[in-house]
Structure 1
Amino acid sequence: MDSVMKTASEYWVLLQQWWFSQARRDLVTFRNPLEIWQENPSILVCELIFVLWAFVTLRHALHYRGRYLWLWIAAVLHGLVTESVSYFIPNVDNFWHFQTTVMFLKQRLPIYILCYYPAIYYTEIVCISRLKLSPLVEPFLIGLVDVMIDFPYDVMGIKMMWWTWHESDPNIYDRTYFVPWTSYLFHMSFVSSFVILHHLTRYLLTGNHRLDYVSRSTFVEIVCIILTSVFAFPMAVATNFIPVYHILHDLYNVHTEVVVLIVFGTYAMISWSGTRLKETEPKQTAKGRSRRSLFDSLSMMLLIHYMFYMVLVWMASPELLRATGLHQSVTHNCTHMRQESIQTAIGIELYRNASLCSSHHRETYFDLNCPPNPIFNQNLPPEGVSWYTICGTPYPNKVEYIAVVTGFCLLGLSVFYQLLSSAPPLLRKTKK
C-alpha cells in the first residue's frame, strides 16, 4: 500500500510539473471568461454558439448512426490539420486569433475554431445530402452553401477583432469589408474537396458513399477519415488555388475578386445543372411534408447562427471593444520597413512587410493607440512585440453594415428553407 501511495504521489508531482511547464502552455492555455467579457463580449457569445453547435451535431451523429459519426470525426481532424498548417508554415501564416477561454497550439487555435469544422461542415453536408443529388454535384452546392453560412461570420468577425490579418500579405491583400476575397475561395474549395474525398474514398473502399450506409468495417472507416482529413487541404490547393487563383493573380495580376467570382460562378453553374435535373422528380406537397424535415436540431442551430449576426450588427459598438493577444509584430521605424519573402504554391516569390507600422497602416478596423494600454502602460506597444492590445474602431457606415449582414442572413435562411422544405427527413439506421 505504501508503494502504491508513493507511486501515486510521484505521478501527481510529475503532473503538477507538466501543468506549469512551457510544454503544457504550448499545448493548451486557459483564460478567465469574465476577463474576456470585459474586453470583448461578442467573442464569448460566438464561442458559446460554436461549442454548442458542435455538441448538437455530435448528438445528431450519435442518434442517426450510419456514417454520421465518422463524418463528424473527419471534420474535426480536417480542421486540426488545416489550422495547424496555417499557423506553422510561414508561407501561409498570416492571421492571429483572439485569445478565447481555451487556446491550443501555442495560443494560436481557439476552441471555437476547432468546433467550427464539425458544426458547419456536418450541418451543411447532412442538409444537402437529403436532396439526394449526384455525388458529382453535391460538393459544389455544399461549397456555395458554406460561403452563405460563413459570410456574416467573416464580415462581423474581423470588425469585432475576433482575429486580425497580416497587413501586407499579397495573398490576402484584396479585401471587401476587411475580409480577404481568398477567404471565400478557401471556404468553397476546402469544403468541396473534403466532400469529394469523403465520398470517393468510401465509394472506392466500400462501394457506397452514402451517409446512411451502415459500415461493416471500422478499420476501413478510419482509413477513409484519415485520407479525407489529411488530403482535403492539398486537393483544394491543387484543384482551385493553383490552376485558378495563383496563375491569374500571381502571374497576371488579376484582382482576387475576379478570381473568386469565376470560381463561384463555376460552382453555381454545376449546382444549378444538377438541381435542375431533380425538377422532373415528384415533389413533396406541403401537406405531406414532415415538419421534422424543416425543424430539427441542425436547422435550429442555423437559425441561431443567423439571428446572432443580425442582432450583433445592430447592437455592437466595435469602438468600445479590445483584443489582447497575438498580432502582427509592431515596428516604429516605418521609413526602413524590413521585407520578408513568401513562396506561393506555384513557386513564385512574393514579398510582404515583416512588421506592422505603428504610425500608418491600412488596417483601419483596429487602432494601436489604446490609452491606457493595460500591458505596457503606454499608448503604443514597444518595438518588435507581437503580444499587445488593439482597440476597435467605429463602423465606416453602420447602415451599410446592417444592410449587408442582415441581407445575407435573410438570404441564407431563405436558401436553407427552400432546400430543407423539398428534402425528406432523415431516417435513423440500425446496424444489422
Structure 2
Amino acid sequence: MNDFQSYICSAVEAKSNTCMTDLLHWLIAFTNPFQTWEDEPTFLFIQFSVIFGAILNYVHAWNRGGRFLHFWWATIVVSLVTEWMCYLLPSINNFWHSQGIVSLFGRRFPLYIVLVYNQFWYTAWVTALRANLKWWAEPFAVGLLVVILDLPYDIMGIKMLWWTWHDTDVNIYDRHYHVPWTSYYFHSAFVAALIIVFFGSRKILMPAKSKFEVGNCFTECLCTVLAGSLAMPVGVSAFFLIFYHPMHDWFDIHSEVPVIMWLSLCLLISWISDRTPTTRDRSDCSKEKLQSLPVFNVAQHFLLFFLLMFVAKPEEVKATGLHQPIGPCNATEDTFSVTGVTLKREKYLCTENYNEPMSFHCLPEGKPPPSVSSWYTICGLPFENAMEYKLIIWFCCAMGLTIYMQLLLFSGNEVKLPVSSPMTKVESGTKKQKKKRPAKVHRD
C-alpha cells in the first residue's frame, strides 16, 4: 500500500505493533545492492556517483562557508518538497523511479534522488559564479548549466529504466529520445526560481547584508526553507504559467518549441550579461583551480556516462518495482493544467498499445502482469541504433565537460566572501594593536 493515510495509527490501533511496523516500512525500505547489480548494474553506478558528488559539494560548501552551505541545504529542501508534491497531486503524479538501495515514502522516492537536485543544481550554481554575471542573469545561466548536466542523465536513465514515465500524460507526451521535453524545462525553470527566492528573500529580510554575507542563524534558515519550499510554485507561476503552458495548452504547440525558446532566452540573457567582462572575469588556469572540488565533481559525472555507454546493455535490464498501474485500455481520467485547461489521459498502462522503451519479454512466457498491477517487473529493450545513442551521449559529455572546464578553469576565481561573515573562513593578516598609553606630562 502507498496511501499515507492507511498508515496513520489511531490510539486504538497503537496497542498493536503491526501498524507502527507498516509505517516504518512505508517510510524507509531497502533493496539488496547485489540484486540491483544483477538486474540493473548501471543504476547502481549512478546512485554511487550522485551520492559521491553531493558529498563533494557539501565539503566544498563547508570549506567556503558563508551562504554556500545554506544553498546546499536549500537544494535538499527543494528536492523533498518537489518530489513529495508530485506524489500527492494526481495531475503531476506521472513518473515512477526504480528501486534505490534506500527508498522512502512507500518505495516511491529513492534516497539518491534527494541528492540529484544537489548534484546538478549546486554544481551548476558554483560554476556560474565564476562568470561573475549580473544578478539578473545568474538564475538563467544556472538553468542552462543544469540542463547540460542533465542531458546524458535523462537520455540514458529512461533507456536503462532508472525510472518510467506515464505513457499518455499530455504534459510529458512530447519526447526527445524518450525524454519529455518538459524535463529540461523543469530543471532550468525551477533552479532559476530557487536562486531568485534564495537571494531575493534574504535581500528583503536583511537588506543591509551583501550577497554572500551571512546574517543571523534564524533568518538564514528561514530564507533557506523559503527558497526550497517556494521554488516549485514560483517556477510554475513565473515560468511555466507565463511561458510554457499557454503555448502548449491553448494553442496545441509541440513541447519542443516552448522549451527551445525558453533555453534560447536563457542563453541570450546570459550572453548579454557577459558581453562586457572585466579583468577579474577572465583568468588563466592555475593549480588551485585544477585541484578544486567542483572540477573533480564535474569530471566524474561526465566520465561516468562516457564509460557507461561502453557497457550498457538495456536489453538485459530488469526493473522490479512500482510502475504505472496496468488496467483496461479504454479507462481515462482528467488532469488539470495551471492554465485551467482540463486534459485527458489514459488511467492505466495499456499493455497492448504503449510507447515506453520497455517490454515484458523477460517474464515467464513473455506475458504482462495481470490487470491493475502497480508492482511488477519490466524489461529493457535494445538500442534502436546503438551507435546513435553512443554518439549523442558522448557528444553531450564532451560539450558539457568543455563548457564547465572553461568556466571553472579559465573564468574568474571563486567568490571572495566578506571578512565580517561569521561562517567565512578567512585568515586575518593583521593583528589587533594595543592602544598606546598617552605619554605622561611632567610639570615643572
The TM-score, its normalising length taken from structure 2, stands at 0.87
SS in 1 for 2:276: helix
Segment of structure 1 superposing worse, 399-408 or 125-134: 125-134
- Aligned mates of 2:39, 2:125 — CA distance in 1: 35
Q: Taking structure 1 as reference, are residues 45 and 166 closer, same or farther at Cα in structure 2, changes over 3 Å only?
A: same
Alignment of 1:48-197 (within 5 A): 48-197=48-197
State how many pairs are aligned.
Answer: 407
Segment of structure 1 superposing worse, 246-255 or 203-212: 203-212
Q: Counterpart of 1:242 in structure 2: which amino acid?
A: L
Q: Pick from 355, 360, 364 the counterpart of residue 348 of structure 2.
A: 355
Identity of aligned residues (%): 35
Please list the CA deviations of residues 210-231 of structure 1 after superposition, one character each: whole Å capped at 9, or x if unmatched: 6642x23001101101110111
Matched residue, 2:412: 423
Matched residue, 1:8: none
Q: Counterpart of 1:309 in structure 2: which amino acid?
A: F
SS in 2 for 1:385: coil
Q: Counterpart of 1:85 in structure 2: which amino acid?
A: M
Q: Pick from 300, 309, 312 the counterpart of residue 313 of structure 1.
A: 309
- Aligned mates of 2:241, 2:177 — CA distance in 1: 25
Matched residue, 2:6: none
Determine if contact 2:161/2:380 at 8 Å carries over to the other structure.
Answer: yes
Please list the CA deviations of residues 288-345 of structure 1 after superposition, one character each: whole Å capped at 9, or x if unmatched: x4322233112111111101111112221100111000001113x43xx100000001
* Contiguous gaps of at least 5 residues in structure 2: 1-13, 418-423, 429-444
Matched residue, 1:323: 319
Matched residue, 2:25: 25
Q: Counterpart of 2:355 in structure 1: which amino acid?
A: R
Determine if contact 1:137/1:271 at 8 Å carries over to the other structure.
Answer: yes
Max radius of gyration: which structure? 2
SS in 2 for 1:390: strand
SS in 2 for 1:186: helix
SS in 2 for 1:277: coil
Q: Taking structure 1 as reference, are residues 216 and 240 closer, same or farther at Cα in structure 2, changes over 3 Å only?
A: closer
* Contiguous gaps of at least 5 residues in structure 1: 1-13
Matched residue, 1:218: 217
- Aligned mates of 2:208, 2:146 — CA distance in 1: 25
Q: Counterpart of 2:413 in structure 1: which amino acid?
A: P
**1:113 CA drift (Å):** 0.4
**1:372 CA drift (Å):** 2.6
Q: Taking structure 1 as reference, are residues 187 and 399 closer, same or farther at Cα in structure 2, changes over 3 Å only?
A: same
Determine if contact 1:370/1:380 at 8 Å carries over to the other structure.
Answer: no
Please list the CA deviations of residues 208-257 of structure 1 after superposition, one character each: whole Å capped at 9, or x if unmatched: 676642x2300110110111011110111011111121111111000000
SS in 2 for 1:325: strand
Determine if contact 2:280/2:412 at 8 Å carries over to the other structure.
Answer: no
- Aligned mates of 1:128, 1:135 — CA distance in 2: 11
- Aligned mates of 2:351, 2:87 — CA distance in 1: 24
**1:88 CA drift (Å):** 1.5
Please list the CA deviations of residues 266-308 of structure 1 after superposition, one character each: whole Å capped at 9, or x if unmatched: 1111010001121x5466453xx43222331121111111011
Q: Taking structure 1 as reference, are residues 100 and 19 closer, same or farther at Cα in structure 2, changes over 3 Å only?
A: farther
- Aligned mates of 1:209, 1:98 — CA distance in 2: 44
Q: Counterpart of 2:349 in structure 1: which amino acid?
A: L
- Aligned mates of 1:120, 1:193 — CA distance in 2: 15
Asked whether 1:290 is paired with 2:290, we answer: no
**1:425 CA drift (Å):** 3.5
- Aligned mates of 2:199, 2:383 — CA distance in 1: 43
After superposition, the CA RMSD in angstroms is 2.1
Matched residue, 1:339: 332
Please list the CA deviations of residues 82-138 of structure 1 after superposition, one character each: whole Å capped at 9, or x if unmatched: 110111110100000000110011111111100112222211111212322211010
Asked whether 1:404 is paired with 2:397, we answer: no
SS in 1 for 2:103: strand
Matched residue, 2:266: 267
- Aligned mates of 2:138, 2:290 — CA distance in 1: 20
**1:18 CA drift (Å):** 7.4
Determine if contact 1:140/1:270 at 8 Å carries over to the other structure.
Answer: yes
- Aligned mates of 1:210, 1:27 — CA distance in 2: 40
